[in-house]
Structure 1
Amino acid sequence: MLKTIDPALNADVLHALRAMGHGDRLVICDTNFPADSIARQTRLGHLLRIDNVTAARAARAVLSLLPLDTFVDDAAVRMEIVGAPDEVPDVQQEVQGEIDRAEGRRWPLVGVERHAFYARAKEAYCVIATGERRFYGCFLFTKGVIAPDAE
């Protein structure tokens, strides 16, 4: 246990978050996502886990340290529901709340078609699997920057 670091974040996830650079993306996914096979195709090359938590709880932990990228319109992405792309299920609304809380303002959560989401996930830095059992609990976040302290 470390002060000010969310206890849901394990050493492997902390290492990946620290290693990521501006513009790198990470996936937070549910239990049905092909996490291992996609993770093998990412920059990191292996799957990370935050077990036994919801996608929203994992997002809260990750976003407590990871700034979202303000230079792109899709720094926060959700997988769209097949056949109902405009529908936003509870799991996605909960993650939206965590994003807004972390950023201190309403932040757009952009929908992406399922297969396009898989393609983007393969290009991510890493994949973090959660214990989320609800469908469509899959998200992509793009790492932003932390501005220097004012002098």
Structure 2
Amino acid sequence: MLKKISPVINPELIKVLMEMGHTDEIVICDGNMPACSLGKRVVRLDGHGVPEILKAVLEYLPLDPTTEQPAALCAWDGPKADIWDVYKDIILQSEEAPKFKNGFRMLPPAEFNEAVKNAYCLVTTSEKALAANIILKKGLL
């Protein structure tokens, strides 16, 4: 057991975060995302929601300061997801807040799905909120 590592972060996810390089992207997925069909690498974190995983990941993952908007959401046709405000609050309360000054990149569904397919890793959760997937672009220390 190690100190100061959130219990929601498993060894596989720590390994993935350490393997990722500058500009690699990680997707934290809601329970509806067909992650195993789309992803090159999938880390399962069943029983957890996206907000708690996002908060834990931001303890270790620097966001890309060279990208105007290092976090992306899917601009789907449904109503705005309430959970997006939760994500914004989590990011703004993290040490990565200065890199989030321009808010989220809102990608059309087709573009979002392509980004998901090209992501370094997809992290599956049991999140029930709709349109609750978030893409994070890794930065430099």
TM-score (norm 2): 0.91
Post-superposition offset of 1:83: 5.1
Task: Select which of 67, 87, 91 maps to 1:95.
Answer: 87
> Do the aligned residues in 1 keep the contact of 2:64 with 2:99 (CA within 8 Å)?
no
User: 1:12 & 1:137 partners in 2: Cα distance?
Assistant: 22
User: 2:139 & 2:88 partners in 1: Cα distance?
Assistant: 18
1:24 counterpart letter in structure 2: D
Post-superposition offset of 1:81: 2.5
Post-superposition offset of 1:47: 1.3
Post-superposition offset of 1:105: 4.4
Q: Please identify the structure whose Cα radius of gyration is greater.
A: 1
Post-superposition offset of 1:6: 1.2
Task: Select which of 11, 24, 44 maps to 1:49.
Answer: 44
* Structure 1 stretches of at least 4 aligned residues deviating more than 6 Å after TM superposition: none
Residue-by-residue CA offset, 1:8-55 (whole Å, 9 max, x unaligned): 10011100000001111011110111111111xxxxx33112221111
| SS of residue paired to 2:60 | coil
User: 1:46 & 1:67 partners in 2: Cα distance?
Assistant: 20
Alignment of 1:2-151 (within 5 A): 2-39=2-39, 45-82=40-77, 87=80, 89-102=81-94, 103-105=96-98, 107=100, 108-146=103-141
Taking structure 1 as reference, are residues 77 and 2 closer, same or farther at Cα in structure 2, changes over 3 Å only? same
User: 1:76 & 1:141 partners in 2: Cα distance?
Assistant: 5
| SS of residue paired to 1:6 | coil
| SS of residue paired to 1:48 | strand
TM-score (norm 1): 0.85
1:10 counterpart letter in structure 2: N
User: 1:15 & 1:29 partners in 2: Cα distance?
Assistant: 18
CA RMSD after TM alignment? 1.5
Aligned length: 138
Q: Percent identity?
A: 30
Post-superposition offset of 1:133: 0.8
2:88 counterpart letter in structure 1: Q
